[in-house]
Amino acid sequence: MIDTRTGLRLAREQRAVTGSDPIRAAVEAMIAGPTDPDYTTTWNRTTTVLGTSRVDGAIVVDLSADARTANVGSAGAALMIQQLVYTATGAAGDPGTPVLLRIDGKPAGELWGVVSWDAPITREDPISVRLLVQIDSPVQGARATSPLRVTGEAAVFEAVLHWAVRDASGVEVSSGVTMTAEGQTFAPYAFDVELTPGAYTVVITEDDSSDGEGGTPMSDSRAVTVT
């Protein structure tokens, strides 16, 4: 999760998971927390994934009772549910599948004092819950060669996406504009930038068509070392 001009949003980290149960591995990674310091999670990190299954067309995730402990309001609780739904369905490769949560083998019911999870839940519209600009590659802390290839997804006005690269001292060394494949909906983008060896931060930012009236534009960043 990340705090934005519209409140908390889901921020995606793509991870390679191993083992016979990719859904379990992905949920375990979600609970363990993000690698990017700009992101956070409110799931109790002592929570154990007891198992996953498929029941009546839904993905069922069974967690330990530690999952009941979280200090969130109603908006944060709703986003925690979507975080689990997006994670499980992403690992399953089937974003349309509903997800049901069980705790210690029983229906989750009331959670965190503000929401209930009694029936399978599907993904909400990504425009309403996801960070609107996202870097997928390079991953946080990656080592790469020049030209640096940056890829991801964004849902931005008229498909316009701004990018900048800053060196270790925070000085901007390169910047530009790239286009997503389609505007106002999540669509892929990619660009290349020539860099000399060193430590950098790549930043992408949504176009500010409101000239500041809509709040601070959403952005995403990755720290990378060019060799």
Interstrand relation of 219-226 and 142-144 (parallel, antiparallel or unpaired): parallel
> What tens digit of pLDDT does each residue of 94-125 get?
999 999 999 999 999 999 999 999 999 999 99
- DSSP, collapsed to helix, strand or coil, labels residue 198 as strand
State the Cα–Cα distance between residues 19 and 17, nearest whole angstrom.
7
> What are the residue boundaries of the structural domains of the chain, listed by start?
2-14+21-124, 133-226
Mean per-residue pLDDT for 27-45? 95
pLDDT of residue 165: 98
- Percent of the chain topping pLDDT 90: 93
Please give the structure tokens belonging to residue 89: 């369905």
Bridge partners (DSSP) listed for residue 177 = 162
For 3-15, what is the mean pLDDT?
93
- Could you count the other beta carbons within 10 Å of the beta carbon of residue 169? 7
Contact between 135 and 154 (Cβ < 8 Å) = no
pLDDT value of residue 15? 85
Segment 50-101, tens digit of pLDDT: 999 999 999 999 999 999 999 899 999 999 999 999 999 999 999 999 999 9
- What secondary structure does DSSP assign to 18-68, as a single string? -SS-HHHHHHHHHHH--SSTT----S-TT--EEEEEEETTEEEEEE-GGGG
Fold of 133-226: Immunoglobulin-like (2.60.40)
- Which range is least confidently modeled, 5-19, 40-54, 156-170, 194-208? 5-19
Read out DSSP for 148-176?
EEEEEEE--GGGEEEEEEEETTS-EEEEE
Mean pLDDT computed over 10-16: 91
**Tokens 């989750």, located at residue:** 108
pLDDT in tens, 127-157: 999 999 999 999 999 999 999 999 999 999 9
pTM of the model: 0.93
Quickly state the pLDDT bin for 19 (edges 50, 70, 90). confident
Average pLDDT, the chain: 95
Q: How far apart are CA 29 and CA 34, in angstroms?
A: 8
